[in-house]
Structure formats: C-alpha cells, structure tokens
Amino acid sequence: MPSGTPTNSAPPFADSLGNPLTLDDAASLPLVDDFVMGFISSEARAVNLIALADADASPIVQAYCATLHLFAESREAAANARPFLAKARAGAARATPRVQRYIAAIEAWADGDIARAIALHTEQALEHPRDLVSVKLGQYHCFNTGDCPGMLRLALAVLPHAADVPYVHGMAAFGYEQCHLMREAEASARRAIAMCRKEPWAHHALAHVMLTEGRLAEGLAFMESVSDTWTGLNSFMVTHNWWHVALFLIDMGRDAEALAVYDEHAWGVVKDYSQDQIGAVSLLARLELAGIDVGDRWSDVAGYLRQRQADHVLPFLDLQYLYGLARAGRPEADALLRNIVAFAPDAPASTRAAWQRVCVPAAHGLVAHARGDLAAAIEGLGTALPRMIEIGGSHAQRDLFEQVYLDALVRSGTEASLAAAQGILQQQLNGQPESLRLRRQTAAVYRRLGLGQLTTQG
C-alpha cells in the first residue's frame, strides 16, 4: 500500500457512498459527488469536477481530475493528467489510505503499468468495498486486457457491501456475461434495472446476453423499451447502447433502420472521442459486411481518425482507427500501420505481448482486407484471432474481426477457404437462428460449395 499517514483520522466529509473525504472547501462536495455517482452511472455530470481543478487542491479532487484526463484515451492524455497527479501526490500525506492507494493506481495507469493498476484496484475493493469508482476503473483495465474473470472478481468482492447500489449489480452483470455465465448475468442485470430503471450499463449487459443467446427480437424490443432513459449520459454510453440496437437491426435484416441508428444516434455525439470513433468504424464495417451501402460515410469518420496515427493507448483502439483510415482510402493508414509495428516491441511490459503477437498481425490483416488483398487478410487475421481476447473489448466488439476474416474467406472463393467459412458460419447460425444476416451468408456459402439443398434461407 502507498506510504504515508493521514494527518486527520476522521475526515469531515463523505461521498454519497459513504467514503470519507478530506476537502479544502466544503463547497467542493457536490461536484465530487457528481464525479463519483456520475462515473458509476455513466452520466456526463462526472466531468463537472473539472471546475474544481484550480479551486481545490485536495488530493482526491486532483486524482479524480487526472482520471478524467486519462479517459480521453488519446496520445496526450497521460501528459495532461500528470500535473493533477503531481498535485495529488504532493498532498498525499494528508489523505486517507484509501485515497493514497487510489492516487497510486491512477499513477500506474498514466505510466502504462496496467498490471499494477489492477492490483491496486483489487486491494482497494477488498479494503474499501464502497469505493466503486475504484472498482469500475479496475473493471475497465481488466476489460482492456481480456481478463474477464478479473472483472467479475472485482464486482463480487464488493457486492455484499454495496448491494444497495444498483450500479454494482450492473457491474456484476457485465462481468458474468463476459465470463459466459448468462443466467447469472441476466439475473444481475434485471436486479439492477428493478432497482433503477435508468441503469444503462445493466441495459448494455442484458443486450449482450440476448445477442449472445440469439434472442434478437427480444433484445431489440428490450433496448428500445428503455432507450427513453438514455439521457444525460456520457457519449460512450449513449452511442454504445444505440450501437447494440443497430446490431440487432442488422442481424434481423432491417437495414434501413440500422443505417438510421448510425446516422441519428451512434455517430456525431462527440466525434473527437475515441469510443465514439471506434463505435462508428465498427458499425460502418458491420453494415458493409451485411451488404448495406454506407455511401460516403467512411470519409466523414476518417477525417476524425487522422489525429490517431501515433496514439497507441490501447491496441483494440488502434486496430479500429487503422481499419477506418484504410477503408476510407486515407494515406494515414500506412503511417499508423508503421507506427504500430514500431511501437509494439517497446510497449509497456504488461501489454507488450498483446501489441506484438495480436495487434501487429491483425493490423496487417485489416489493412489488407480494406485494400482487397484477401490472402494477406486471411493470413494476418487468422494468426491473430485465436488470441484476440488479449487486446480487450467485449465478445460482441471483437466479433468485428471475425466478420472481416469471414468476409475474406468467402470472397477468396477457394475450396479450402469456403470450407473454413462454412464451419464458422454454421456454428454462428446455430446459436442465432433468428439472424437473417447469418442465414443469407451461410446459404451463399452452401451454394458455392455445391450444397444448395442445405440452405436455410427462406
């Protein structure tokens, strides 16, 4: 645990979750609470805290400001966070052990030492189980490194102490879902929603369950039924939940509606933000792979991706920036590809393997696919796919890379590639019999294999 002894054993304030706080100004408490409750509920009010950046030098305020800067997920994010971390560290001796550990975890994040950050958030969950900001951050890091059991372990560690907080059940639901524990995931999501109908992370977890189980019509109806609550959210949460709506629509063959969701809800909220950008890339790619004409939409997205040529914050992000640039025919794709290859050997130790062994071959495969080199696409993506979980993202998000790989297999048209595509597609269709998209794609492959009598397309 970070060294240092707080000078006052009984801080005069507490956040809404009961965590003690030492603040320089009592007037800061409402904005600190905006951050704490806004962050765990995916609400935009979390950023209100930035107003205190110069007004309150309290270590927790400065550490929370650093957190917000790091969530920009940009090349400049760590540098922008460091002045706040320096102020937090300077005052750490007067902070509680909980705040000291939180500062250390954010410092580890800024340094790229994600393994240490996760370890500190895990300690925090055990010693201060109502520090739910720390828990959600720990889940974020586990998610980005493919550690699904770690996500679940964090949520379950604090659940007995925070069962009154609906957002904890949402955190548990997503951890269960990513561990393929669907019944537990659905039960936790529904409990969260029963406690608070506006629980977008629980909505998101339940959408995952229904997509995975092939309950497409039910999933679409559910998401549409709660979409009226998606107000006041951060841009990631609102665009990502609409992204899930679009996935249901694509699979159900409701192409025009899916495209309308892209235009009206999934792209355009905060076009400079990383998560909005990868959501747009991912959804455009899926629309195209389903045979939907997306017009000149790639060009619009690519204009915002040019700034990402040397970010390298997360391999999961870089791959989608790269595909968007390449699909738009932008020369910056070549620069980003070169930069990924150069960065991978020097990536932070805790993520280096994911960069080298997964991101690099996948990057080559994605650029090849965007440019019509199907053999190279099959080679690169085929190498990366077995380990793709290591770059993070959810099952539903990583499915993009398998869809691109499948498209390359089908379009290459060799007997071997069509046979490989048949095996993948039929298994997917078995799990999602409602999917018209999969039914069409599987039927086309059977016809090309001379097995048209087996098609299930109506």
Q: Tell me the per-residue pLDDT of 389-399, one tens digit each, with 9 for 90 and over.
A: 999 999 999 99
| Rounded-to-integer distance, Cα 178 and Cα 67, Å | 25
Strands 20-21 and 13-14: what pairing?
antiparallel
Residue 154 resides in a domain? no
**Percent with pLDDT over 90 in the chain:** 96
pLDDT band at residue 455, thresholds of 50, 70 and 90?
confident
Count H helices and E strands in the chain, helices first: 23, 2
| Rounded-to-integer distance, Cα 360 and Cα 383, Å | 10
pLDDT at 3 over 60: no
Nearest to 39 by CA among 132, 173, 149, 130: 132
The mean per-residue pLDDT over the stretch 334-343 comes to 98
In this predicted model, which residue has the larger pLDDT, 456 or 237?
A: 237
| Rounded-to-integer distance, Cα 34 and Cα 30, Å | 6
pLDDT digits (tens, 9 = 90+) for 304-323: 999 999 999 999 999 999 99
* pLDDT, position 206: 98
For 426, left (φ over 0), alpha (ψ -120 to 50), or beta?
alpha
pLDDT band at residue 10, thresholds of 50, 70 and 90?
low
Residue 451 resides in a domain? no
Q: How many domains does the chain have?
A: 1
Residue 109 resides in a domain? yes
CB 121 within 8 A of CB 137: yes
**Within 328-359, where are the H helices?**
332-343, 352-353
The mean per-residue pLDDT over the stretch 120-129 comes to 98
* pLDDT, position 456: 52
| Rounded-to-integer distance, Cα 361 and Cα 47, Å | 37
Residue 64 resides in a domain? yes
* pLDDT, position 458: 44
* pLDDT, position 12: 86
CB 438 within 8 A of CB 408: no
Residue 22 resides in a domain? yes
| Residue 125 domain boundaries | 13-145
pLDDT digits (tens, 9 = 90+) for 64-85: 999 999 999 999 999 999 999 9
Other CB atoms within a 10 A radius of the CB of residue 160 amount to 9
pLDDT digits (tens, 9 = 90+) for 408-438: 999 999 999 999 999 999 999 999 999 999 9
Residue 43 resides in a domain? yes
pLDDT at 113 over 60: yes
The mean per-residue pLDDT over the stretch 37-59 comes to 97
Residue 427 resides in a domain? no
pTM, full prediction: 0.95
CB 129 within 8 A of CB 121: no
At 371, the amino acid letter reads R
> Which token pair is 391?
């770059």
* pLDDT, position 281: 98
pLDDT at 2 over 60: no
Those residues whose C-beta lies under 8 Å from the C-beta of residue 217, and which sit 6 or more positions away, are 248, 252, 434
Residue 77 resides in a domain? yes
| Rounded-to-integer distance, Cα 30 and Cα 32, Å | 5
Residue length of the chain: 458
Other CB atoms within a 10 A radius of the CB of residue 41 amount to 24
CB 130 within 8 A of CB 19: yes
**What is the Cα 179 distance to its own chain's centre?**
16
* pLDDT, position 307: 95
| Rounded-to-integer distance, Cα 383 and Cα 110, Å | 30
Average pLDDT over the chain reads 96
Those residues whose C-beta lies under 8 Å from the C-beta of residue 400, and which sit 6 or more positions away, are 282, 285, 286, 320
